[in-house]
Amino acid sequence: MPYRHVPAILLLSALLAASPARGATVNVSVGGSDLAFHPAEVHIHPGDTVTWTNAGGFHNVKADDNSFGNAQSGDAWTFSHTFTALGTVGYHCEVHGGPGAGMFGTVIVEDAGGGGGGQPGNSASW
């Protein structure tokens, strides 16, 4: 069988199509002028990351199921967690709330295929 030259653009296209898509990052502000997460509810897809940033005050982020969390601090901090499984995950600030009470929030990890087609972010964008 004779050698066939494959154009570089076809090879590059095939490699890009085979590579996994990078997840989106959704940002959540922690505290600041109030004792709340902004936005308090985010909708993402598997593989997406949520990054929480302390906007002021003594806070932390703790998953209701203890699957992730960071240390309580009054310093400037960021904390990120990548979600891989579908489902709803509640979280809270241990200083100012608890599961579903006080300073709390929710991450909803939804199937990326079919139907919605929206971009990850707060519930208002879906």
**106 in a domain, yes or no?**
yes
**12 in a domain, yes or no?**
no
| Count of structural domains, the chain | 1
Sequence-ordered list of residues with C-beta below 8 angstroms from that of 96, at least 6 positions apart, any chain: 35, 59, 102, 103
**10 in a domain, yes or no?**
no
For the chain, percent of residues with pLDDT exceeding 70 = 72
Q: What is the pLDDT of residue 125?
A: 38
Range of 103's domain? 23-125
**3 in a domain, yes or no?**
no
Among 92, 85, 80, smallest CA distance to 50 is for: 80
For the chain, helix (H) and strand (E) counts, in that order, are 1, 9
Q: What is the pLDDT of residue 10?
A: 44
Per residue in 80-126, pLDDT tens?
A: 999 999 999 999 999 999 999 999 999 999 997 644 444 556 544 33
Please report where in the chains the tokens 């590059």 appear, as a residue: 12
Amino acid at 89: V
Indicate if the pLDDT at residue 4 is higher than 70.
no
- Global pTM reads 0.76
Between 40 and 18, the higher pLDDT residue:
40
Amino acid at 69: G
**4 in a domain, yes or no?**
no
Binning pLDDT at 50, 70 and 90, where does residue 33 land?
very high
Query: In a 3-state reduction of DSSP, which class is residue 124?
Result: helix
d(CA 72, CA 125) in angstroms, rounded, equals: 30
Indicate if the pLDDT at residue 13 is higher than 60.
no
Domain of 70, CATH number, reads 2.60.40.420
Q: Which runs of E-coded beta strand occur in the chain?
A: 25-30, 37-38, 41-44, 49-54, 62-63, 78-82, 87-98, 101-109, 121-122
Residue length, the chain?
126
